[in-house]
Amino acid sequence: MLIATLAGVKWHQNQQKNKIAEHESEQSVYVEAAIANTNQAFGLPMEKAGAIQDYAEFGKVARFANLFHSAIDYFAKPGTEVFAVADGEVYFSGAEGGYGALVVITHDRPGIYSLYGHVSAKRWLVEQGVQVKKGQLIGYTADTNEGYGIGVVPHLHFSIRLGNPEDYPNSGRDNWMTGYTQKHPAFYNFVDPEQFIQQTKIGHRE
């Protein structure tokens, strides 16, 4: 009986993995189109720091325990510089819910946007509506009293998503600035940020 149950669990897990793989393979068509359209190699949002929570990992804090993380969290001391990963336009810059402050940049409409959470509203933030270049300073990671989500560990929450922010609803788990998703984030058109950046580098050698 136990073996049958375990086999059932395994089967279910494999089904889940297959569904995710299937969706990611469907998604890859759009990812390739976005990479072709973007016409630039993306960079990293900060000088390389260790990831403390990976893309698609389950939430590491109780309130997100059964949700997938739609971003990578990079450990960074308060005040660490955050850079635009590619040329684009600042769609949002300011205080936003659990992020403390948030910056969102749209790239090559229609196509792709990047999101930078737990930046500091107090130090300095790039102005909404301006054009930015890849590698341009857009803000600094938040100070200890500005809130980080994962306990008191300062970090940058960094996402890349297909489409434009206004393609997504203003509320619920699939909204334009969501940090956690109910299903694997690929189902909400998020991509693995580091993998995507690598793909843009291969697609657009500098």
- Provide the minimum distance between the beta carbon of 54 and Zn ion in the complex, in angstroms, as a whole number: 10
Shortest CB 69 distance to Zn ion, Å? 6
3-state secondary structure the chain: CHHHHHHHHHHHHHHHHHHHHHHHHHHHHHHHHHHHHHCCCCCCCCCCCCEEECCCCECCCHHHCCCEECCEEEECCCCCEEECCCCEEEEEEEECHHHCEEEEEEECCCCEEEEEEEECCCCCECCCCCEECCCCEEEEECCHHHCCCCCCCCEEEEEEEECCHHHCCCCCCCCCCCCEECCCHHHHCEECHHHHHHHHHHHCCC
**Contact positions toward Zn ion, by CB under 5 A?**
71, 73, 157
* Closest residue to Zn ion: CB criterion: 157
**Considering beta carbons, is residue 86 or 150 the nearer one to Zn ion?**
150
Closest distance between Zn ion and the C-beta of residue 57, in Å? 9
Nearer to Zn ion, 73 or 87 (CB): 73
Smallest gap, in angstroms, from Cβ of residue 112 to Zn ion? 19
In terms of CB distance, is 40 or 196 closer to Zn ion? Answer: 196
Quick one: 107 or 157, whose CB is closer to Zn ion? 157
